[in-house]
Amino acid sequence: MKKILTIAGSDSCGGAGIQADLKAMSAQGVYGMSVITAITAQNTKGVFAVQEIENDIIRKQIEVIYEDIEVDAVKIGMLSSTEIIETIAQTLEKVNAKNIIIDPVMVSKSGYYLLKESAIEALKKFLKIGTLVTPNIPEAEILSGMKIETEKDMIDSAFVIKKLGVKNVLIKGGHRNDSCTDILLTENGEIVKFLGERFETKNTHGTGCTLSSTIASYIGKGMSIEDSVKQGKNYITKAIENSFSIGEGVGPVGHFIELYKKAGVDYE
């Protein structure tokens, strides 16, 4: 069984962050492990508080895993400060980490800033260790310094972001009104488009975490970037289609929908 590590924040309501990552990884048939960078107090209505984990503990979490276990891929999510970003970069370099997928988490769906503004430049520098970065359109606008409205804008911004040093760039198109096509810019400069299907649902909590974790799982299994993104796109589409409510706000996507159906769970 392949072993995939997620380095991200904890979501107390289980829909995003570490919890979503581990669910998505398990659904792909890989063994998920975690390094927690921050603890969030959140529910379906929003994020209400964040407590960063001390740098030494973050570093040690990574080191002890690599001392004992072969890590086939790494998914990186919430990195709230410059200090945390630099600690993780130095430690991953020290352990010679491979197959690094970066989901540049910046703002929660409820509008809470999960990345300090002072850490944006550090995040841009951090991208050079990445095999793939997976920004949505608002994140890509910050990373590229461009306004993105059209598919051409998405492609242009991908080239700008790639110049930061990351090998491959996936711009997610879900924030566009006229299309939800994702754009992949590969290491060799090829553009690959992944057509999307839009569903009428408010329950999209954890979509970015779930997609990037699924992609990391398949890259860890040895699939190409393009095929891994395709698998990720297929999985998140089905998960959104089968999302459900658990509270008054934005509910989670259906990570284990087939298991729920087999167990006879009424999740709707």
User: What is the 8-class DSSP label of residue 15?
Assistant: S
Listed residue (89, 100, 182) closest to 133, CA to CA: 100
Catalytic machinery residues = 172, 204, 206-209
**127 close to 102: Cβ distance less than 8 angstroms:** yes
Listed residue (169, 158, 172) closest to 237, CA to CA: 172
**210 close to 24: Cβ distance less than 8 angstroms:** yes
**7 close to 35: Cβ distance less than 8 angstroms:** yes
Residue type, 149: E
Cα gap 21→115, rounded to integer Å: 19
> Position of tokens 């509910």?
251
The residues, any chain, with a CB within 8 Å of residue 176's CB and separated by 6 or more, are: 137, 149
The H or E element that residue 247 is part of is none
